[in-house]
Amino acid sequence: MTPAEQSRRTAEICALAPVVPVLVLRDLAHAAPLARALIAGGLPALEVTLRTPAALDAIRAMAAVPGGVVGAGTLLTPEDVAAAKAAGAAFGVSPGATERLLAACKEIGLPLLPGAATASEVMALLERGYTVQKFFPAETSGGAGAVKALGGPLPQVRFCPTGGISLKSAPEYLKLANVMCVGGSWVAPDALVAAGDWGGITRLAAEAAGLAR
């Protein structure tokens, strides 16, 4: 899968909803009900970060829930890419981009949303064919203003800003022409997940799904 093909598929996923939940799963038992709650609220694209021992099994469980598109976040190595693909991830997300990581995604056919935070990083990925990128870490890298500024010289690149974004700040990003969606963890707070308050999470998801783009 070429970078251009990856970007086309990533763009389709980013177009599903204004917010992609960024999820840290510590208990496998929470995976399927959490996916159902978020999908019911209108957020079908889900990013499960590879930061816990339960992450890969959580991806497997969530991938079996109808209506969702589950991806693996925090891809750092070719081994991560292979494990994510084997677990059923439909796409990958990385905080940055390395030669080995990009090559692995291309070889294995996993659509990647690669991270960039500077004009040089954005240009390097664009040169390879990645027209959809993750702007990370968004809030500490200049926020919506920085994303808007990148749109001047690099209008052909669209972004999914992620990192420190909240319900309050999300609209500032989503109103920009070069932003497709945002990534955020606020739709699945640890307290609600631990309590199994799936109705509360569905309400948060519906609120996020209603944000204008």
User: Kind and range of the H or E element at 147?
Assistant: helix 143-150
Report phi then psi at 23, rounded to 5: -115, 135
* Euclidean distance between CA atoms 117 and 96, whole angstroms: 8
Catalytic residue among 5, 79, 121, 134: 134
Our answer to whether residue 106 is catalytic in this structure is no
134 is catalytic: yes
Catalytic residue among 5, 12, 47, 168: 47
Active site residues: 47, 134
